[in-house]
Structure 1
């Protein structure tokens, strides 16, 4: 058989490729459905509803990471089933404990929201539901790890599809009944609950569910896998920091209406960009790994991919700046025309972030994760600081978004220059 045909045959028969395709298909459908119902949701909910939902989900995201301390990610690691079971029980115990403690500290959380987001009336945030969402979200992370460990990728993909359908239907139905931001929040809870419930039924074929969801904390397991809370949790929290800090800062400085428009714009533009950058990043990772094994460097390939992404980004930015307001008004309703203006203003920021996230794996190949973590943290803090500087000097959201985009492009260029230098440096794997 021809060597190239043999390679293609092995790729098609590869369990890895097939499993990635299964997971990706569910994710693509979920994202497509989310985008498809957006023109309906934009005519049911107003900007302030999306602002409240954004603040709610950002708080849930932070406490979800803290609620398992990333022990949920460690479930995949051990060969022994007994260790995996102990890790699952540890993560589940924390997922119960943290929301219970959170109930006690909700008054403090509310005061922090009032202070940082400058929201005087927090009734529309429905803070009392946060611990429930944290519990469901934390257990979703545990379930995802169990799916991966048991290689039940088909079940995971299928349940993501059902989650998206039920969540979207709930958002539409509750919104038509005039529940405002509560409709978005309850729709999210319905989606989480449906995924967890259906997933437990799917996992029953692979494991004894009750053995993996017990409130037991093993001290040896806590110590043996301490690198996950010490290293993984800070990285995950840093990734969440940028959008969370920007959301609270926008609400504080420019009001919930501006935050709502910004949040809706991110939902429409950043969500598909994240999906594309993740896919490109995975393919790029495989290619540069091959290049490193053959030549030790991949500078030429980096330049080729970068130039293509740059052209795509420039064309998209100009399209959003010229047609963004009209497109948003036609698709999502006249009341969202200003969100289209925002799309044009922040498009350089979104596409700069998109390009450099496509090359996320370069520091991993070069074993420079620590440097990348520092640069990524600097990037996030600079953009948040830019919001305050823009508000202080300009008192105008348009000029502030121009400043944010300028900072994002500038810092991204520095990071990409570093990436390029790494791509030209020969990597030797011992």
Structure 2
């Protein structure tokens, strides 16, 4: 089946290549500055940044109640435009709610995760949540429009802004705040850049389509997204970020820093290609499903394509992770390479199951995905807590967590393969 993949003749792979080409500039910048940041900031600063990022990540997945996923689905442009408006309205409301929650629990966060100076950066959280959420809506609208070039441009703006601010913060010796401000402001820049381009290209359809009564109707039409997809995404995000909180609680922010920088570097190329594939796969798969096309064949080809791409990098990190990290980042980061060796096994399956996760949405299997996600979350979290408490061994905790993630993604892949047989 792999030999049937002809990149030059296949629109899917042309669009993926368009996204990768633009996004590569952004990710290359992140990779270039990583060895500099690892010398400007110590593992403790990266650990604090990881806790902050985990808080934001958990909030972001529900800030729009996943209505942004529905932007791609309507047959009529008018309905899609109103779903975008719905997503933005919900984002604003949920950001205000999260700000209130932060006010109530900020003192507890400082105690739980042993973080000094929490008040210096905690107010970046609602800012990040708001712009991340709106940017997600803009991304899905652009995906629907097949405007992949402007998605790449926004990524370049984000990466340049993040790099400049984080480097400046490191040179100024302001600690974790430099990393946090860089991420938050970088995403603001990307959101504004993408929003301006959307307004320029699609202003007429957005203005002519806006109808508040229609927005309310569409909120009911796509109620499965907040009802199941948002809960599933929340469980998934808590599950993926629980390790940062547990490592901080049982070990130290420094340990979290080793884990966080490993994850950051491994995810750069994975997100570069994987997100590009998702953005192209989603609208094409939805179209095949609506028109009765061969969705299963398209799904299998896409998954195999991703497996071929990621196989060699996975093997290299598994075999040579510690010396590679020590060489590139500095000797103080060799433990991060040990973590990376085990994490790469898990991230291999994260990468190849991008199409799997999309099909849960398209096939309206949100309830099933929520159940699978919840069971996986409970098992992974209990194992992580048990290993961390009993053995007090951070590398062992990460190994167990990675293997449990591998089993979860394999189960999800098998489930979707079975479901696509019935289409």
Classify the TM-score, shorter chain. Answer: 0.7 to 0.9
Q: Specify every segment of 5 or more residues in structure 1 that has no aligned partner in the other structure, as ranges.
A: none
Q: Report the CA distance between 1:192 and its aligned residue.
A: 1.2
Do the aligned residues in 2 keep the contact of 1:65 with 1:237 (CA within 8 Å)? yes
* Residue 27 (structure 1) aligned to one of 3, 8, 23: 23
- Corresponding position of 1:11: 9
- Bigger Rg over Cα: 1
Q: Report the CA distance between 1:44 and its aligned residue.
A: 0.9
Q: Report the CA distance between 1:380 and its aligned residue.
A: 3.5
Q: How far apart, CA to CA, are the structure 2 residues paired with 1:80 and 1:311? A: 40
Structure-2 change in CA distance of 1:124 and 1:142 (3 Å): same
* Residue 101 (structure 1) aligned to one of 89, 93, 97: 97
Q: How far apart, CA to CA, are the structure 2 residues paired with 1:96 and 1:306? A: 36
Structure-2 change in CA distance of 1:358 and 1:274 (3 Å): farther
Q: Report the CA distance between 1:190 and its aligned residue.
A: 2.2
Q: Determine which structure has greater relative contact order: mean sequence separation of CA pairs < 8 Å that are 6+ residues apart, divided by chain length.
A: 2
- The one-character-per-residue Cα deviations of 1:288-342 (angstroms, maximum 9, x if unpaired) are x9xx989x999x99999899799748733541xxx33332222111221221232
Once superposed, what is the RMSD of the aligned Cα atoms?
4.3
- Corresponding position of 2:185: 190
Which 10-residue stretch deviates more, 273-282 or 53-62? 273-282
Which 10-residue stretch deviates more, 133-142 or 367-376? 367-376
Do the aligned residues in 1 keep the contact of 2:343 with 2:398 (CA within 8 Å)? yes
- Corresponding position of 1:242: 239
Q: How far apart, CA to CA, are the structure 2 residues paired with 1:385 and 1:122? A: 30
Q: How far apart, CA to CA, are the structure 1 residues paired with 2:68 and 2:411? A: 34
Structure-2 change in CA distance of 1:331 and 1:102 (3 Å): same
Q: Secondary structure at the match of 1:342?
A: helix
- Corresponding position of 1:146: 141
Q: How far apart, CA to CA, are the structure 1 residues paired with 2:301 and 2:220? A: 42
- Corresponding position of 2:128: 133
Do the aligned residues in 1 keep the contact of 2:47 with 2:253 (CA within 8 Å)? yes
Q: Report the CA distance between 1:359 and its aligned residue.
A: 6.1
- Corresponding position of 2:35: 39
- Corresponding position of 2:199: 204
Q: How far apart, CA to CA, are the structure 2 residues paired with 1:374 and 1:195? A: 34
Structure-2 change in CA distance of 1:29 and 1:236 (3 Å): farther
Structure-2 change in CA distance of 1:302 and 1:350 (3 Å): closer
Q: What is the number of equivalent residue pairs in this alignment?
A: 411
Q: Report the CA distance between 1:397 and its aligned residue.
A: 1.8
* Residue 251 (structure 2) aligned to one of 247, 250, 254: 254
1:332 aligns with 2:329: yes
* Residue 155 (structure 1) aligned to one of 130, 150, 158: 150
Q: Specify every segment of 5 or more residues in structure 2 that has no aligned partner in the other structure, as ranges.
A: none
Which 10-residue stretch deviates more, 170-179 or 256-265? 170-179
